[in-house]
Structure 1
Amino acid sequence: MFLDEPARKTPLVGAYDVAVVGGGVAGIAAALAAARCGAKTILIEKQFALGGLATLGLVTIYLPLCDGCGRQVSFGLAEELLRISIRHGWEDRYPAPWLESGTRESREKRRFEVQYNASVFAILCEQLLRESGVEILYGTSVCGVQTENGKIRALFLENKSGRSAISVRCAADCTGDADLCAMSGADTARFKQGNVLAAWYYAQHGNRVRLKMLGFADVPDKYKSENEKRQNRRRYGGIDGAELSEMVQDAHTALLADFLKDGSVSQKHNLTAMAAIPQVRMTRRLCGAYTMDDTEQHKFFTDSIGMIGDWRKAGPVYELPFRMLYSEKVKNLAAAGRCISVTDDLWDVTRVIPACAVTGQAIGTALALSDDLPALDVGTLQARLRNDGVRLHECELETDNR
């Protein structure tokens, strides 16, 4: 059954070179990069704080910028944002060998990662964006797009002011769920396994407040034992409104039960923070001009826009090709972060903060340069990224690269 809505004229309230949809780490990096390249940039975020899972989702571990073997592999905004996250202190995992003078041997023993305070990081990112000239629009959802000749021309928005529209030269999908890709007609794919329940929270125990990691992202089936494959845990796809609401309620129930195992609320025992958004990691992604697989570690890509390591283990290095970030169907659209074009087996590696920052910087820069990404001269993009501190290829890494 369907209902017909009355036709209406939607007010056009602004025009932008680059519209970034989603204010997680990928969106922060994309907006910063675009603005620093001189593009008039707006960042649209449906919550009222930046950071996504990294702040509102309480996944407060800035995973490694290194390969686990003493070499830094992620640079540019990936490192800048890490340093910003601990500007006023850190919660745990301070990587002294990386941020102070350290030897290759000491860096092999401690990875380049930190645990930061979520609220402080969110505010510092907001300040950085404002200083860079990015317009931030909170409490706003993109509810539709207008396309013409294979390009997005306008975004339809809903917020407290009602429905409005902005015209755009280019758009960045940093939603984590490929929402903008799906709306605009780009090909997308879903994570086949679904997400297991996660409910990370902070609790006070005595004189300490600690992060409690209740549940986590599931690993791809190819890495599971036969016993793990037989486990019958409920899965959540992550892109259905009713299901997400049920997932959040399930997470709240599990969280409270876990917290109360250590006693009732008291001056020494408090539930201090719970996630404000669903903790889903892998949902829907772009099917880009190239889809990368986890077997392509240490592979040279002529169109690499940066590198990441594998947060789960030492050794692998992945160069990230530009072709995995854009759609050949919608030429002025690019994706970054959790919804880039990778196989299910690589998704668990590329969904985390360093990859979000690396890909975000790349698409923000690319969209500032061109509204036809398949036709963009990759050399021009790479030159700008190099100028902004990014290293593109593994062969550029020195034995001791600090």
Structure 2
Amino acid sequence: MRSLLTISLCLTISALLMPASASAESLLVETESFDNHGGWKLDTQFIELMGSPYLLAHGMGKPVEDAKTTVKFPTTGTYQVFVRTKDWVKQWNAPGEPPGQFQVSVGGKTLDPIFGTQSSQWSWQPGGTVEITKPETEISLHDLTGFDGRCDAIWFTTDDSTPPAEAKILSSWRKTELGLSEEPIEDGPYDLVVIGGGYSGMGTAISAARMGIKVALIQNRPVLGGNGSSEVRVWAQGLVRRGEFPHIGEIVDEISDHATKSPGTYEEFEDEKKERIVRAEPNISLFLNHHAYKVDMDDDRIAAVYAFDTRTSEIRRFSGTLFADCTGHGTIGYLADADYDIHDGVRMGMSNMWAWAEADSPQSFPKTPWALDLTMNDFPYPRDFHGQWFWESGFEKDSIKDLESIRDWNLRAVYGAWNAMKNKDGADKHKNAHLTWLAYIGGPRESRRLLGDVILTEEDIVSKKQFPDGMVPSTWSIDLHYPKRQYMRKYPDNPFISVAEHGKGVDRQYGYPIPYRCFYSRDVPNLFMAGRCISVTHEALGTTRVMRTCGMMGEVVGKAASLCVKFGCNPRDIYTSYLDYLKDLARKPGVVRRDNVDGEFYTREGDTVPEMEYDYVPASTLKGLVVDDMKAKVTGSWTGGTGLKPFLEAGYRYGRGGTATFPFRVEKDGEYEVRFATGAHENRATNTRVSVTHAEGSSNVTLNQRKAADIKPNFVSLGKYQFKAGTDYEVHVDATQVDGNCHIDAIWLVPAE
């Protein structure tokens, strides 16, 4: 027994006297957290695919400035290095040297390997070893080509282990390496959490905030605007301020760009203006550079959304009562297991537009054997120095899972075209030409569509089916994109030029009113949606998807959300029980606000209600009885017109030598002012004779139609007269003996005060 104790004691003492083996040390450096990105761009488009934001060396053929940062190592010593990157053209077995090559320097020493040269997938490329002699050390990324090299992260370790290959967003391994808490920062509760900062998200957030509720607006880019930002530069389309609710669209007008071309210039997209308008709302908390990636559910309801800072990886949990998916991809609905659809067929693709200019001297451009092998006949010539919206691909690709590949194919197409212009058959003509801009952020058109209580169809729109909750006018035609056959010869399996096929049936002036029931989920009871992911079919998406229309959806959703808070109800209940309340809010000017949902409405000092000046005026916006010229009985020849603005409904008519009779009945006995819509022009008549039949007989008025109307929007008074309910009356226009064109548009009866 004594000998065993002696042996045990000796072993213990021996163990204490032996030098302790050093435990492994490691350091993970996310490139998005670099102190100075230099010329590298932060790309957050594909986080759902590869798990992280990353830096992109988007120099359009010219190496960009180094990205640099200073880090603190846990200890000095020898570290293995791994760099997460990819060879972005390897998936196509592209010839030539990989375009995205770069180097990494640590403490002033450049590592031997050239990165971005090995795997077609995101993976950890070994970088050899480096000796760290002092804890605080500078790391830099050195671009070698200017052709979109990409680096996600750099990992240093003192042992022989390798980093895991998983692409899960903020995996446990990454959290541990970054020292992130497992518990997120709690933010909220909010009345409404809006995810997505494009036109639909901005419209939703601003509208809701002005209606008195607390809003979080989460955007994973550094700027607002989405496709309508300076990063993508799609000009905003779709007419606003029309239909039954002409104030819907005024918020869109506040935030909208004024680009004259697509793509336009950086300045035209006014990123700073958009952010300024959002930050001016005291009820909005804005979170730029935050990517939403997970939801908490409470039974079938969303309880919270998780988002991480794309620069620091810090995680926030946004709790709320209501949520609005304005991501374009239906991301939040998908995470919440909401019903959704993706078109099973040729889908509209994603564009990466570009621009070029002529310099005063010859400009070189590297040859690009790895790009698409194009000649000048393989693509439409970029006239007006613009590669426009039709540089589009991904028609038969997965619009979610293949998104990064679609963007990269677009880049290969543009670089291939530019190589043809500079180094092949276009070289003589383009010696001084140089690329000035190429979007690395793609402009997608179609992916998931979340399903609501109404799924709007092309048939609904063409047949003008009237829904009681129709509220947002869509004035864009049913515009679907397909590959253009002329340019499919070389790459028929993955064409890169599109053609737009515009269907008929959409009233381009008045618009088709999209029903409110397309703006909330049918099975996640507290989820709204606005933008490209609303409840429509593939065909109907062709008319609803443009940005100003999407922004108006947001305005309606924001107002509906405030009513949900006021009445303690779900989005569906607004249709079933509170639709008239929503319509009342929709009739208020966009600048009108209240401090809370029970507060008084007011206009903030300095805000003004826009004049009701439109290209046309819908009859439904005028209180009283309106008879349009299309309901008039005419003789003689009349010509339709829309050139003199504003006008009622679809247009007006003008002519001489005939007559026009507007029949009408009033619902109540009383005195009414009779008004006549006219349009001032030098070729109009000065002696148009108009007669009004009324309860006391008939009265005649002569109009000088070269003078402007004095009653907005475009009316003159014919006088006040007595009328009896249920009796037939008329306004008769005699244009048989006039000295110019007689102008007929509408009559309007208003009860006399």
Fold agreement, TM-score > 0.5: yes
Q: Could you list the runs of 5+ residues in structure 1 that have no partner in the other structure?
A: 94-113, 219-232
Bigger shift: residues 203-212 or 155-164: 203-212
1:356 lines up with 2:550 in the alignment: yes
Conservation of the 8 A alpha-carbon contact between 2:237 and 2:549: no
Task: Deviation per CA, 1:88-120: give whole Å up to 9, x if none.
Answer: x64349xxxxxxxxxxxxxxxxxxxx9775664
**Structure 1 Cα separation of the partners of residues 620 and 418 of structure 2:** 47
1:201 lines up with 2:395 in the alignment: no
**Structure 1 Cα separation of the partners of residues 207 and 395 of structure 2:** 39
Bigger shift: residues 155-164 or 266-275: 266-275
1:189 lines up with 2:341 in the alignment: yes
Q: Tell me what 1:169 maps to.
A: 321
TM alignment of 1:145-164, pairs within 5 A: 145-159=295-309, 160-164=312-316
Please point out which of 563, 568, 589 is paired with 1:369. Answer: 563
Task: Deviation per CA, 1:147-168: give whole Å up to 9, x if none.
Answer: 2243222111212242221211
1:247 lines up with 2:445 in the alignment: no
Q: Helix, strand or coil for the counterpart of 1:258?
A: helix
Bigger shift: residues 299-308 or 31-40: 299-308
| Identity across matched positions, percent | 23
Please point out which of 451, 457, 461 is paired with 1:287. Answer: 451
**Structure 1 Cα separation of the partners of residues 525 and 560 of structure 2:** 12
Please tell me the residue identity of whatever aligns with 1:143.
Answer: Y
Please point out which of 210, 213, 220 is paired with 2:388. Answer: 213
Q: Could you list the runs of 5+ residues in structure 2 that have no partner in the other structure?
A: 1-164, 174-180, 361-382, 480-501, 591-611, 622-647, 652-712, 715-753
Conservation of the 8 A alpha-carbon contact between 1:50 and 1:126: yes
Please tell me the residue identity of whatever aligns with 2:532.
Answer: R
Higher normalized contact order (CA 8 Å, seq sep 6+, divided by chain length):
1
1:257 lines up with 2:416 in the alignment: yes
Conservation of the 8 A alpha-carbon contact between 1:203 and 1:270: yes
Query: Displacement of 1:46 after TM fit?
Result: 0.9
1:360–1:234 distance in 2 versus 1, CA, 3 Å: closer
Superposed CA RMSD? 3.5
**Structure 2 Cα separation of the partners of residues 115 and 84 of structure 1:** 16
Query: Displacement of 1:145 after TM fit?
Result: 1.2
Normalization by structure 2: what TM-score?
Answer: 0.43
**Structure 2 Cα separation of the partners of residues 322 and 203 of structure 1:** 43
1:77–1:199 distance in 2 versus 1, CA, 3 Å: same
Task: Deviation per CA, 1:229-251: give whole Å up to 9, x if none.
Answer: xxxx86232211xx222112111
1:296–1:40 distance in 2 versus 1, CA, 3 Å: same
Task: Deviation per CA, 1:174-232: give whole Å up to 9, x if none.
Answer: 000100111112111113233445321122246997432153679xxxxxxxxxxxxxx
Q: Tell me what 1:396 maps to.
A: 620
**Structure 1 Cα separation of the partners of residues 397 and 435 of structure 2:** 25
Conservation of the 8 A alpha-carbon contact between 2:356 and 2:386: yes
Q: Tell me what 1:277 maps to.
A: 441
TM alignment of 1:372-391, pairs within 5 A: 372-376=570-574, 377-388=578-589
Conservation of the 8 A alpha-carbon contact between 2:248 and 2:556: no
Q: Tell me what 1:21 maps to.
A: 195
Please tell me the residue identity of whatever aligns with 2:441.
Answer: I
Conservation of the 8 A alpha-carbon contact between 2:356 and 2:437: yes
Query: Displacement of 1:308 after TM fit?
Result: 1.3
**Structure 1 Cα separation of the partners of residues 556 and 316 of structure 2:** 29
1:178 lines up with 2:318 in the alignment: no
Bigger shift: residues 379-388 or 56-65: 56-65
Q: Tell me what 1:108 maps to.
A: none
**Structure 1 Cα separation of the partners of residues 452 and 316 of structure 2:** 29
Q: Tell me what 2:281 maps to.
A: 132
Please point out which of 238, 241, 260 is paired with 1:91. Answer: 260
Bigger shift: residues 51-60 or 251-260: 51-60
Query: Displacement of 1:269 after TM fit?
Result: 2.7
Conservation of the 8 A alpha-carbon contact between 1:51 and 1:122: yes
Please point out which of 396, 403, 419 is paired with 1:235. Answer: 396
Please point out which of 526, 540, 543 is paired with 1:332. Answer: 526
1:116–1:28 distance in 2 versus 1, CA, 3 Å: farther
Task: Deviation per CA, 1:241-267: give whole Å up to 9, x if none.
Answer: xx2221121111111222344437999
Conservation of the 8 A alpha-carbon contact between 1:282 and 1:338: yes
1:213–1:300 distance in 2 versus 1, CA, 3 Å: same
Q: Helix, strand or coil for the counterpart of 1:169?
A: strand
Bigger shift: residues 141-150 or 279-288: 141-150
Conservation of the 8 A alpha-carbon contact between 2:208 and 2:562: yes
Bigger shift: residues 349-358 or 116-125: 116-125
Q: Helix, strand or coil for the counterpart of 1:306?
A: strand
1:15–1:38 distance in 2 versus 1, CA, 3 Å: same
**Structure 2 Cα separation of the partners of residues 247 and 355 of structure 1:** 26
Query: Displacement of 1:293 after TM fit?
Result: 0.6
**Structure 2 Cα separation of the partners of residues 216 and 380 of structure 1:** 44
1:346–1:366 distance in 2 versus 1, CA, 3 Å: same
Conservation of the 8 A alpha-carbon contact between 1:156 and 1:164: yes
Query: Displacement of 1:272 after TM fit?
Result: 2.0
Conservation of the 8 A alpha-carbon contact between 1:26 and 1:357: yes
Q: Tell me what 2:209 maps to.
A: 35
**Structure 2 Cα separation of the partners of residues 188 and 272 of structure 1:** 39
Query: Displacement of 1:302 after TM fit?
Result: 0.9
Conservation of the 8 A alpha-carbon contact between 1:197 and 1:236: no
Please tell me the residue identity of whatever aligns with 2:272.
Answer: I
Q: Tell me what 1:221 maps to.
A: none
1:56–1:275 distance in 2 versus 1, CA, 3 Å: farther
1:206–1:63 distance in 2 versus 1, CA, 3 Å: farther
Q: Helix, strand or coil for the counterpart of 1:62?
A: coil
1:64–1:142 distance in 2 versus 1, CA, 3 Å: closer
Please point out which of 274, 277, 291 is paired with 1:141. Answer: 291
Please tell me the residue identity of whatever aligns with 1:38.
Answer: G
Please tell me the residue identity of whatever aligns with 2:449.
Answer: R
Please tell me the residue identity of whatever aligns with 1:239.
Answer: I
Query: Displacement of 1:305 after TM fit?
Result: 2.1
| Larger Rg belongs to | 2
1:9–1:372 distance in 2 versus 1, CA, 3 Å: same
Question: Higher strand proportion, which one?
Answer: 2
1:345 lines up with 2:539 in the alignment: yes
1:234–1:41 distance in 2 versus 1, CA, 3 Å: closer
Conservation of the 8 A alpha-carbon contact between 1:319 and 1:394: no
**Structure 1 Cα separation of the partners of residues 358 and 459 of structure 2:** 43
The alignment of Structure 1 onto Structure 2 pairs a total of residues equal to 359
1:180–1:141 distance in 2 versus 1, CA, 3 Å: same
Question: Higher helix proportion, which one?
Answer: 1
Query: Displacement of 1:48 after TM fit?
Result: 0.9
**Structure 1 Cα separation of the partners of residues 356 and 301 of structure 2:** 47
Q: Tell me what 2:237 maps to.
A: 63
